[in-house]
Amino acid sequence: MDLRFKNEYTRDLDMIKEMLTWSNFKRPVRIVVIILLAYTSILSLVGFILNPSDFVYLIFFGSVILLVLLFFFSYKKMVKITAARDKEVNGGKEIEITVSLYDDKMELEGSSGGSNELAYSSLKKVYTTKNLIIAFSKTNIMYTLKKDGFTVGTADECIAFLNGKINK
C-alpha cells in the first residue's frame, strides 16, 4: 500500500467560497437551472412589454427575480455557516485537512479529529476549478483537494489518477 499522493491544506474562507461557488453555480444541473430562470424572466418581461395590461407577466417576472435573489442569498449564508461550523468544531481555528491517496483508497484526516476512508469505487466524477480538485461520491458527497497543496505528487497526476480509478 504505497502512498501515491498527499495533499495538505487549510479550509479557509477563500476555499469555502470557491467550493460553494462551484457547487451552487457551476455544476452542470445548476447551469441549466440558471439558464432556464434567465430565459423565463426575459420571456416574462417581453410578455409584459407587449401586453402591459396583463400584470401576470410582471408578477411572474418578479417571482423569478425573487427566486434568483434567494438563490444568491442562500449561497452567501452557506459560506458564513460553513466557515463558522469549521471554527466551532476546531476550537476557533480553520480546519487543517490531509488527504492521502493510495492505490486502493483515499484517506482524509482533519485537525478537528475527524477521519474518513473512501474506496475509489465510491467515486463517480472529478471536476476541477481554478484552485481545487473536487471529487464527488456516488452519494453526492464532495471531497476536495487544493491544487497547490500537494506534498507528494502533482495536481495533474492526481486528476489523471482519480479519473483512471473512476473509469475502471
What confidence tens digit (pLDDT) does each residue in 98-125 have? 999 999 999 999 998 888 999 999 999 9
User: Mean pLDDT in the chain?
Assistant: 90
Long-range contacts of 23-29 (CB under 8 A, 24+ apart): 23/142, 24/71, 24/74, 24/75, 24/78, 25/75, 26/129
Q: What is the mean pLDDT of residues 62-77?
A: 88
Bridge-based pairing of strands 132-137 and 142-146 is antiparallel
- pLDDT tier, 23 (very low <50, low <70, confident <90, very high otherwise): confident
Rounded CA gap, 154 and 98, in Å? Answer: 15
**Are 95 and 111 spatial neighbours (Cβ–Cβ below 8 Å)?**
yes
**Residue 68: pLDDT over 80:** yes
pLDDT band at 31 (very low <50, low <70, confident <90, very high): confident
Q: What is the pLDDT of residue 36?
A: 86
Q: Assign 29 a pLDDT band (cuts: 50, 70, 90).
A: confident
Q: What are 3's three cell numbers? A: 502512498
Confidence grade of residue 45 (pLDDT, cut at 50, 70, 90): confident
Q: Is the pLDDT of residue 28 over 80?
A: no
CA 163, 164, 165, 168 dihedral sign is positive
**pLDDT of residue 42 exceeding 80:** yes
What's the pLDDT tens digit per position in 70-101?
888 999 999 999 999 999 999 999 999 999 99
> Is 90 exceeded by the pLDDT of residue 17?
yes
Task: Specify the higher pLDDT residue, 5 or 58.
Answer: 5
| Order of strands across the sheet that contains 150-152 | 115-119, 105-110, 95-102, 3-11, 150-152
Query: What are the cell numbers at 6?
Result: 498527499
Residue 146: alpha-carbon gap to chain centroid:
13
